[in-house]
Copies of this chain bind each other. A is one copy, B any other.
């Protein structure tokens, strides 16, 4: 039996890729400098704007999400600029590293694992900056490493009152829950292909406000391949400054068509339900979540402690070996101490039900006492069975 199980990627990206999207990569290559590609790119960016709920310009970078983050840092700021970074996990730390690499002077609000950014703390800190020296505020929409969803709208409100650029890493958060770029006034927003887009990794989508474009004009930081200035200039012509990842672009076209057909409400709804089902199931089995606050629960991933003296890595190994289910490890100091269940993108209720059923078996086989098979499944069923 063990030799023959299909693989199910329950990690927070890459998610499984639907066949329809996978096969789009096999389309004939075309010249990325020809008219057909130009039309394709212009159509694509228009559809991306709709999904991103923005009239801001959108560019597609042939780089993974981190490339998009670096583009935001290196394209929008100047040497020595002060910025504020609100970090709640490993990807928050990535903003700190990027700021350091580019010589920005970063003030950092750091939170314990599992906590969300407190908008009032951001407000208090910005209130002290009467000289408006802080040029940008960086944070994550969804912190993948700790399964925390930040309140982007509230954070944006206090930053807007101050005037700094609002830079949001929405790589794992985009499409998993609502993100109103224009209504909330977000300046730079980064999404990644391997998350709710259901694509392989390799593309970053960046939405840039008029205000950010002005900052881009005056940036003196070194940037070339990841230059938002160059990307924006070319995007107006349906072009990219450097050779784009053509097959991934084909797949992104397929994805945005599927997503547009489904509609944002349905996309948000299914992510919310899977999140609730997973949390309810894990709790019913007596497991402790890293982030117990339902109000800031990630729609994309759930982080959980192993029960009792069980080993998180052993749980993950046995889920993989026995059932073909890939779960994610913790990151940083949480490595080996938690495991994470991804439930975004091309993951559906059937997958969640199966994962909980398999997890019940694995936990009891590894020695968790008193676990009743089917109980966690029942909790998930109770969430998922609700009609539209």
Contact = CB atoms under 8 A, between A and B. Distances in A.
A262 B353 CA distance: 27
A2 to B, nearest CB: 6
Contacts of A218: none
Interface in A320-370: 323-325, 346, 348-351, 353-355, 357-358, 360-361, 365
A1 B273 contact: yes
B378 A3 contact: no
Contact of A348 (B324, B374, B385, B388): B324
A22 interface: yes
Interface stretch (A4-12, A92-100, A224-232): A4-12
A237 B231 CA distance: 58
A377 B359 CA distance: 13
A295 interface: no
A357 B381 contact: yes
A113 interface: no
Given A22-B19, A357-B357, A361-B385, A5 B350 contact: yes
A351 B324 CA distance: 12
Interface stretch (A79-87, A115-123, A181-189, A264-272): A264-272
Contacts of A46: none
Which has the most chain B C-beta neighbours within 10 Å: A350, A374, A381, A388? A374
A119 to B, nearest CB: 31
A365 B273 CA distance: 18
A384 interface: yes
Contacts of A23: 26
Interface residues of A, number: 47
Contacts of A360: 381
A355 to B, nearest CB: 8
Contacts of A267: 4
- Report the copy number of this chain in the oligomer: 2
A260 to B, nearest CB: 12
Nearest to A382: B373
A382 B355 CA distance: 15
A18 interface: yes
Given A26-B26, A377-B374, A5 B354 contact: no
A160 interface: no
B18 A6 contact: yes
B358 A350 contact: yes
Nearest to A386: B1
Contacts of A22: 19
A211 interface: no
A324 B270 CA distance: 14
A374 B2 CA distance: 24
A47 interface: no
Contacts of A135: none
Given A353-B357, A360-B381, A372-B378, 5 more contacts: A1-B269, A1-B384, A5-B350, A6-B18, A6-B346
Q: List the 9 shortest-distance A-B pairs measured between CB atoms, nearest first.
A: A374-B374, A374-B378, A350-B354, A353-B357, A354-B354, A361-B385, A373-B378, A373-B381, A353-B354
8 contacts: A2-B388, A4-B270, A5-B349, A19-B22, A323-B349, A324-B350, A354-B354, A374-B378
